[in-house]
Amino acid sequence: MSISIQSIHKTFGNYKALDDVSLEVPNGSLTALLGPSGSGKTTLLRIVAGLESADDGPGRILFHGENVVGIPAGKRQVGFVFQHYALFRHMTVAQNIAFGLTVLPWGKRPPRREIAARVDELLGLVKLDGLGRRRPHELSGGQRQRVALARALAIRPKVLLLDEPFGALDAQVRKDLRRWLRHFHDEIGLTTLFVTHDQEEALELADQVVVMRNSRIEQVGPPQRIYDHPRTPFVYEFLGNVNKLTLRDGGTRYVRPHEIEVKFAAEYDPDFDRLAEVQHLFSAGPVAALSVRTEPGEFIEVEISRKQLDELALSVGDQVALSFPPDPTDPEGDWTGDGAAPTAAANDHAVEWNI
């Protein structure tokens, strides 16, 4: 089931939490709402769920073409997973999962045996077989989050909404659960919208990444495209390590550490390259990180392969020449995120820079 968000506004008192936000979430996709705290991503998710209402106006939210604005959260059939699980503490795992079924009105409530069977099926689905009689506090964080997921899935939701689902977990569990969720999503194919402030998580997990900033959507697109062709400096900086260079004409440009080519100083081309001195070398890892200082005194982080580091035989104090790729910032970036490739013209235009 697709979700279509059309010019949604939300104000809390004097604060504008969402400013004319429109977004298409394709059917069956896994879409990430990515942004720093206060960017409006959680508010947007809660409005989609019906836990918050958008400001009055022409704004609409369509589930598969059907407007859900005005429909209460309980009737929208959304599966919502909270950052801190929000499990019912006084109930067992099985009772938690069954909750959405046991509160159905008399006529619609499945018989007890059917509910029990569904709970067992869901426990298996989230790999928690046999833990139905435990209490939430007896489970680990990762297990609790999967109970929350099973509970949300019990009502056979049309869409799945996850609010920072891994936010409260430690790094290793986070990574495992993330991969598991991707796999899980591919298996059940439920349209899923999740909120995160972790760019790595968004890029690794999502089919479509929505970068939000200051109550607006900054850019929408597949992870690769957003990473390679950020539409704005903000997206550039938010999506990973980046160097900010001052150009000779006073302008600035961004370049990622691994995009910079390092050459022997003898190969220096005064038209395009910059000379720099190696300040630090970190080679404990899959890639070597260099910290270099350019002529005008700028510090730049560069990542090269270990192999190349060996070939260059660099040590601290050596002079190197740095060569930069064309600026990929996509000035006419695709706003709607329908996946269209950037035009060649836009890229050609981007090459016109002056180091």
Partner 1 sequence: MSHREITTESRPVRVLLIGAACAVVTVFLLLPLIAVFVEALRKGWEVFFESLRDEAALSAVKLTLTAAAISVPMNTLFGVGAAWVLTKFRFRGRALLVSLIDLPFAVSPVIAGLVWVLLFGSHGWFGEWLDARDIRIIFALPGIVIATAFVTFPFVARELIPLMESQGTDQEEAAVTLGASGWRIFLRVTLPNIKWGLLYGILLCNARAMGEFGAVSVVSGHIRGETNTLPLHVEVLYNEYQFSAAFACATLLAMLALVTLGIKTAIEHLTGHTSAGKH
Measured from the CB atom, the residue of 88 and 335 that comes closer to partner 1 is 88
We find the least distance from the C-beta atom of residue 108 to partner 1, in angstroms, to be 10
Q: Which stretch binds partner 1 (CB under 8 A): 33-41, 66-74, 274-282, 294-302?
A: 66-74
Measured from the CB atom, the residue of 73 and 309 that comes closer to partner 1 is 73
Distance CA 148, CA 194 (A): 14
Measured from the CB atom, the residue of 79 and 132 that comes closer to partner 1 is 79
151 binds partner 1 (CB under 8 A): yes
Distance CA 91, CA 140 (A): 16
DSSP string, 240-269: S--EEEE-TTS-EEEE-GGG-EEEEGGG--
The one among 62, 155, 173, 287 contacting partner 1 by CB under 8 A: 155
Q: Does an H or E element contain 90, and which?
A: none
Number of CB atoms found within 10 A of residue 196's CB? 23
Distance CA 189, CA 182 (A): 10
Q: Tell me the site size for partner 1, rule CB under 8 A.
A: 31
What are the φ/ψ torsions at residue 251 (nearest 5 degrees)? -75, 175
The one among 63, 80, 194, 227 contacting partner 1 by CB under 8 A: 80
Q: What's the one-letter identity of residue 56?
A: D
We find the least distance from the C-beta atom of residue 143 to partner 1, in angstroms, to be 14
Helix, strand and coil content of the chain, in percent to the nearest 5, comes to 30, 30, 40
We find the least distance from the C-beta atom of residue 135 to partner 1, in angstroms, to be 7
Q: Which stretch binds partner 1 (CB under 8 A): 31-39, 76-84, 246-254, 257-265?
A: 76-84
Measured from the CB atom, the residue of 137 and 183 that comes closer to partner 1 is 137
We find the least distance from the C-beta atom of residue 84 to partner 1, in angstroms, to be 6
We find the least distance from the C-beta atom of residue 154 to partner 1, in angstroms, to be 8
We find the least distance from the C-beta atom of residue 71 to partner 1, in angstroms, to be 12
The one among 64, 84, 156, 280 contacting partner 1 by CB under 8 A: 84
We find the least distance from the C-beta atom of residue 75 to partner 1, in angstroms, to be 7
CA of 192: how far to CAs of 26, 98, 145, 218, in Å? 9, 21, 16, 20
Tell which positions 19-58 bind partner 1, by CB under 8 A. Answer: 49-51
We find the least distance from the C-beta atom of residue 151 to partner 1, in angstroms, to be 7
E strand segments, the chain? 3-12, 15-25, 30-34, 60-63, 66-67, 78-81, 159-163, 191-196, 208-213, 216-221, 243-246, 252-255, 261-264, 274-282, 287-294, 299-305, 319-323
Q: Which pairs count as long-range contacts for 15-20, CB under 8 Å and 24+ apart, including other chains?
A: 16/215, 17/43, 17/215, 18/43, 18/44, 18/47, 18/54, 18/215, 19/214, 19/215, 19/216, 20/216
Tell which positions 88-147 bind partner 1, by CB under 8 A. Answer: 88-90, 99-100, 103-104, 135, 137-138
We find the least distance from the C-beta atom of residue 232 to partner 1, in angstroms, to be 33
Q: 216-221 and 243-246 as β-strands: parallel, antiparallel, unpaired? A: unpaired
Q: Which stretch binds partner 1 (CB under 8 A): 73-81, 114-122, 229-237, 346-354?
A: 73-81
Which residues in this chain contact partner 1 in the complex, by CB under 8 A?
49-51, 72-80, 82, 84, 86-90, 99-100, 103-104, 135, 137-138, 148, 151-152, 154-155
